[in-house]
């Protein structure tokens, strides 16, 4: 397997965590920031955090040793990116700062070094304007806290080369995280879904339907409880798309537009594809695997409940 030389530019909260996980995967990582002094300070912070994670049993026992061996603070962005084959930008979410940083990275890096941005919300196509050879540029969106959230959204823009995406997939896979490819569209997938849920939750509070505390309880203990195991399409397929269709009709009695039946749902139901019970839906799970799926689901939910009981409630209230 290739050992990658990686630069993380912007070594704050996200950049520090990203540097930790990349270093633990065996990559050589240089971190850069506004100045050498800040990069050094951030290096000390990420080592101290890693020590705490080891003490808490969250990182392997030899993690600090491995991170020390693989991560170093650089004097400048230029020094960090020279000789790097992958560069992850994690500077603040302001397009001017990102453009300026991407220009400096492009000017100093090897012309074929792959460049990723950890942007949460800015269109990758807009950031690409500041990158020379933009076919080597894409969104590589780690979530917070980067050391522990196992998914990374990959967002190629219109001209990103397939080979660049494949290399990033390999780099992220080496960290033990999972990737999914997403088109360059406002909010990408993660934030568009997260904010859609938050939007509806705030409407419920503002309408006086339930308190924030009760809404959080319902999300945690009912449909949100399924989410570590299944996404919305697996859940819909298992619930039955015909059932979803009836529920939409009911929601439409109050909000005809907001809860209009999705075209894709209507098409599947019209074609007799009701989800797992009919052997076809959004995800084509063969009907003969349904018992296996149900058994897995039940086992997963019991295991998650046991884990939650062991952890106890979050110290929020």
Using CB under 6 A, list all residues that contact ligand NAD.
Answer: 9-15, 33-34, 38, 42, 90-93, 97, 101, 118-120, 143-144
Nearest residue (CB) to ligand NAD, 81 versus 238: 81
Q: How far is the CB of 121 from ligand NAD (least distance, A)?
A: 7
CB neighbours of 83 closer than 8 A, spacing ≥ 6? 5, 110
Please check if 11 is assigned to a binding site: yes
Q: How far is the CB of 269 from ligand NAD (least distance, A)?
A: 37
Q: Is 160 helix (H, G, I), strand (E, B) or coil?
A: coil
Six-digit token pair at 310?
A: 């062991």
Which DSSP string corresponds to 46-83?
HHHHHHHHHHTTSS-TTHHHHHHHHEEE-SSHHHHHTT
Please check if 144 is assigned to a binding site: yes
Nearest residue (CB) to ligand NAD, 188 versus 244: 188
Please check if 272 is assigned to a binding site: no
Please check if 1 is assigned to a binding site: no
Please check if 298 is assigned to a binding site: no
Six-digit token pair at 117?
A: 């941005």
Q: Which residues are registered as beta bridge partners of 9? A: 32, 89
Nearest residue (CB) to ligand NAD, 39 versus 174: 39
d(CA 82, CA 91): 18
Please check if 308 is assigned to a binding site: no
Nearest residue (CB) to ligand NAD, 147 versus 281: 147
Would you put residue 176 in left (φ > 0), alpha (ψ -120 to 50) or beta?
left
Residue nearest to ligand NAD (CB): 12
Six-digit token pair at 295?
A: 């058994």
Nearest residue (CB) to ligand NAD, 87 versus 241: 87
Q: Which residues are annotated as a binding site for NAD(+)?
A: 10-15, 33, 93, 98, 120, 144, 277
Q: Which residues are annotated as a binding site?
A: 10-15, 33, 93, 98, 120, 144, 277
């Amino acid at each position: 397997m290739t050992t990658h030389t990686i630069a993380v530019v912007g070594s704050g909260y996200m950049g520090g965590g990203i540097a930790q996980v990349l270093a633990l995967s065996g990559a050589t990582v240089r971190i850069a920031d506004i100045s050498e002094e800040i990069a050094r300070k951030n290096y000390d912070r990420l080592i101290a955090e890693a020590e705490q994670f080891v003490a808490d049993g969250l990182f392997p026992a030899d993690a600090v040793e491995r991170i020390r061996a693989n991560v170093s603070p650089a004097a400048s962005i230029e020094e960090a990116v020279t000789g790097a084959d992958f560069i992850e930008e994690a500077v603040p979410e302001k397009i001017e700062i990102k453009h300026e940083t991407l220009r400096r990275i492009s000017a100093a890096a090897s012309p074929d070094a792959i460049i990723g941005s950890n942007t949460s919300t800015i269109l990758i196509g807009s950031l690409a304007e500041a990158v020379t050879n933009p076919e080597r540029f894409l969104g590589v969106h780690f979530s917070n806290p980067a050391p522990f959230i196992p998914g990374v959204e990959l967002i190629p823009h219109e001209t990103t080369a397939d080979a660049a995406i494949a290399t990033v997939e390999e780099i992220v896979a080496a960290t033990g995280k999972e990737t999914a490819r997403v088109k360059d569209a406002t909010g990408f997938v993660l934030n568009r879904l997260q904010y859609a849920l938050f939007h509806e939750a705030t409407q419920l509070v503002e309408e006086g339907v339930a308190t924030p505390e009760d809404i959080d309880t319902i999300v945690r203990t009912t449909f949100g409880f399924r989410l570590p195991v299944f996404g919305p399409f697996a859940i819909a397929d298992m619930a039955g798309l015909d059932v979803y269709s009836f529920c939409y009709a009911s929601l439409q009695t109050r909000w005809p537009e907001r809860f209009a039946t999705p075209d894709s749902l209507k098409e599947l139901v019209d074609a007799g594809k009701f989800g797992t019970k009919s052997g076809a839906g959004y995800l084509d799970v063969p009907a003969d695997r349904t018992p296996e799926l149900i058994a897995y689901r039940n086992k997963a939910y019991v295991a998650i409940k046991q884990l939650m009981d062991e952890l106890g409630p979050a110290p929020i209230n």
